[in-house]
Structure 1
């Protein structure tokens, strides 16, 4: 990947599979998704077996800490009705967190660096938000697209603006996660390639390669923090959007 920083985002077909005319081939992206899901299930089962212990183990403490944080975040953003959304928010947040962190491992694949993946996650949140709004307020929910007192001739314009405003958060939710993960990984690869080129050049440049290498280590720590923060932000915004529907807002 030293030649091209963008090469790391290429979806590579590993096992070609065609079923009823559909391409369901195994790729590096799909395998990392399965690994992420399997890791979450495995940790959950392991924590479940440790649940009866008086002194919680390391992973049990971590999982319980994350769960308590999600519970607090959900109730703070949604209110007393938030209990029924804890499971969904927790699952989405932990899935993104695991995919982000696994993507930091060398020669692995960052699933969340692809817009189509983050967009599917965001669409799930958006559809859920819409369902919650309709269930809570009925079809009166769509009255928010027409502000009170709007002249009849201006109704199409305001409906258009309000619909755009309703959809934009879904797009921004997807782009925020995708852009942060992609940009960070590109920067890491560029710095690594720069340090590698200086090291291969030899001479005085060999000594100078330590500078981008030190910066690389610092940025790796920053990228790790970004991976954690972006999972938290996605979960927090999910709570906020659902809370808006519970209260009848946008």
Structure 2
């Protein structure tokens, strides 16, 4: 544009002729700029279309390289038995359940059920001692937990521990939800099995003390003499 405006007049008319030609020169310069912008815009559009095609090709290549889940495991995970569905309906009737377990079990629960949209981590987890915790789970969170455990039971590998843990937790929750009534005590799910105390064989068998001596019961021994006939009176002593 500057070149067009500052170029000398080809007719050589002088300053007056230059002033008259300014509008024409401006229109000519504006037309050239418009053409250049149109060409640049068309080139940018062409590059954008080519870039979109390259992105689509990259996505397709990534999808082909991404490992596909096992079809058998996916089918097993989506299958829901009538018993499992009935258990979920029963769980929906629970307002709140108290869960007592070890901290490691709680970590396993939150790692698996925490990704489910129905699971809610309780705001407080009480310390019960001996590395145990007590958490209050809503019925909705229990449903999420049961769904996650059910899926893990069918998708986890044998012997890695996840299937065994999921099965045990699932069965224990199922046992705790049997016999629900509108009134009664809150549901308590306990995972704290312990060994039974050893029986006290010393007191259970013969009642003898240690060392084989008879146990002193505090009762005097019975008399070994034969009782006299109650009808006889004691006579005078004979010389």
TM-score norm. by structure 1 comes to: 0.23
> Radius of gyration: which is bigger?
2
TM-score norm. by structure 2 comes to: 0.23
**Higher percent of residues as helix:** 1
**Bigger relative contact order, structure 1 or 2 (CA pairs below 8 A, ≥6 apart):** 1
**Higher percent of residues as strand:** 2
